Amino acid sequence: MENKELLKQRVEELAGRVNGEVEEILGTLILKVQAPYVTETLTAVKSFDDVPCDFLHDLAGLDLVDHLEVVYQLTSLNGPQHLRVKAIVDRENPVVDSVTRIWQGADYLEREAYDMFGIQFKGHPNLKRIYMWDDFEGYPLRKDYETEPIEIRNLVRQRIDGE
């Protein structure tokens, strides 16, 4: 497939510039970069010649125990190219640049990743929890988050006096 070859060529060129790794799983190209290169990578990916991956399809966090990843699923409305960009984020200090300046649609998705994984998106206009309430503690989708067993959750919380 010509399109795919072209994309692969462009991605490999880019990987050299941003110290990224390219691999292919089940027919999808994956570009792994370190967190500081995210803005540069995605700006470049958005404006690839002939095969621009200019539609941010999904943005999700991923917990791999030793580090976190932010997974960007990129496609285009004008061609069959699709690319997965992964940004490797430090687990203790998860900071990554926000892509809301590149795609406005990343707004809620980044808030969700923040809510579920605690990944700080630098430059996000309104980085607040989206699903959980504001004073919720912990990041539910991290592997070390402990869920309460059903027996504890089923207990009806006693009302504290004065509430």
Partner 1 sequence: MSIDKTEELVLNMGPQHPSMHGLFRMIVHLEGETVTEIEPKIGYLHRGIEKLAESRTYTQFIPYTDRLDYLASPHNNWAYVQTVEKLMGVEIPERAEYLRVIFGELARIASHQVMIASTALDIAGWTAWGYAFRDRERILDMYEMTAGSRLTVNCMRIGGMSAEPPAEFWPALESFLDDTPEMLEEYYGIFFGNEIAQGRLKNVGIMPKELAENLSITGPVLRASGVQYDVRKAYPYSIYDRFDFDVPVRYGCDSYDRTIIRMDEIKESVKIIRQAIRDIPEGPIMAKVPKVIKPPVGEVYHRVENPKGELGFYIVSDGSTKPARVRIRPGTFVNLQMLPIVAKGWKIQDVVAIFATLDAVLGEVDK
Residues that bind partner 1 (CB under 8 A): 25-26, 28, 54-58, 60, 62-63, 71, 73, 77, 80, 82, 84, 103-109, 112, 116, 129-133, 140-141, 147
Q: Of 99, 156, 148, whose CA–CA distance to 122 is shortest?
A: 99
- Comparing CB distances to partner 1, the nearer of 44 and 109 is 109
- Comparing CB distances to partner 1, the nearer of 35 and 68 is 68
Look at the block and give the residue holding tokens 């990916």.
45
- Comparing CB distances to partner 1, the nearer of 151 and 161 is 151
Buried b (16+ CB within 10 A) or exposed e, 126-156: ebeebeeeeeeeebeebeeeeeeeeeeeeee
Please give the single-letter amino acid code of residue 77: L
Question: Residue 81 Cβ, how far from partner 1 at the closest point, in Å?
Answer: 11
Question: Residue 96 Cβ, how far from partner 1 at the closest point, in Å?
Answer: 17
Question: Residue 29 Cβ, how far from partner 1 at the closest point, in Å?
Answer: 12
Look up residue 34 and give its two tokens.
Answer: 């370190």
Label each residue of 48-104 as H, E or C. CCCCCCCEEEEEEEEECCCCEEEEEEEECCCCCCCEEEEEEECCCCCEEECCCCCCC
Question: Residue 61 Cβ, how far from partner 1 at the closest point, in Å?
Answer: 8
- Comparing CB distances to partner 1, the nearer of 31 and 162 is 31
Q: Rounded to the nearest 5 degrees, what angle is found at the Cα of 59, between the Cα atoms of 55 and 65? A: 150
Question: Residue 69 Cβ, how far from partner 1 at the closest point, in Å?
Answer: 10
- Comparing CB distances to partner 1, the nearer of 103 and 121 is 103
